[in-house]
Amino acid sequence: MTFQKKNYFQRRTKPRGPRVNERIRSSEVQVISSDGNNLGTLATQEAINIAKQEGLDLIEISPNAKPPVCKIIDIGKYKYDLQKKANKAKKKQKIINLKEIKLRPVTEIHDYNFKIKNAQKFLEKGDKVKFTVKFKGREMQHTHLGNKLMDRIINDTAQLGKVEVRPKLEGRQIIMIVQPL
């Protein structure tokens, strides 16, 4: 006697991509031929037979339409075209990173200059820069020093970026975001 172990926790995979041929659930479909002509509304089985006669597949293009729109095309070619479109869209998008520079109200001039130089590099590269001035202990009584520092940062980065989020006090820190021009 052999026992088969059932895997109760096996994940059911969702079918990826559009429904093809026998997987189309609707009884009637709007059919577009392989050369782009509209064949009208046909029974699904009839449309599948027409596609198989041409040696192609019936692919559900618009499943939410009434009746669903299907096209007679090779499934491999269809997936290839979708992948090409996705790659083209990915090439066009620009990714903007947010870099953070942390300061204190008592940051020395050399350290400040070093951090501003880095911020300018980030802005030239096209990234946004988030400036954070943190206060510790009794420094909270001198938030005006943090505001002065933020004004100085705005002046030093003015030729490369503009302020997206004005400096504002949140708890024990002042936050400002500068975006590239």
1 pLDDT tier (thresholds 50, 70, 90):
low
Contact (CB, 8 A) for 163 and 177 = yes
Query: In this prediction, what percent of the chain has a pLDDT beyond 70?
Result: 92
167 pLDDT tier (thresholds 50, 70, 90):
very high
At residue 15, the pLDDT reads 65
- Topology of domain 21-81 in CATH is Ubiquitin-like (UB roll) (3.10.20)
At residue 119, the pLDDT reads 94
DSSP output for 111-163: HHHHHHHHHHHHHHHT-EEEEEEE--GGGGGGHHHHHHHHHHHHHHTTTTEEE
Query: What pLDDT digit, counting tens, does each position of 76-115 carry?
Result: 888 899 899 989 988 888 778 899 999 999 999 999 999 9
Q: Who wins on pLDDT, 5 or 65?
A: 65
CA dist 136 → 104, 108, 173 (Å): 9, 16, 9
Residues of the chain with CATH 3.30.110.10: 98-180
Query: Mean pLDDT in the chain?
Result: 88
At residue 34, the pLDDT reads 86
Q: Which residues contact 60 (CB under 8 A, 6 or more apart)?
A: 18, 19, 20, 24, 29, 68, 69, 70
Residues of the chain with CATH 3.10.20.80: 21-81
26 pLDDT tier (thresholds 50, 70, 90):
confident
Give the whole-angstrom CA distance, residue 97 versus residue 119: 13
- DSSP character at residue 94: -
| Domain made up of 98-180: CATH architecture | 2-Layer Sandwich (3.30)
**pTM for the full model?**
0.54
Q: What's the mean pLDDT in 63-75?
A: 89
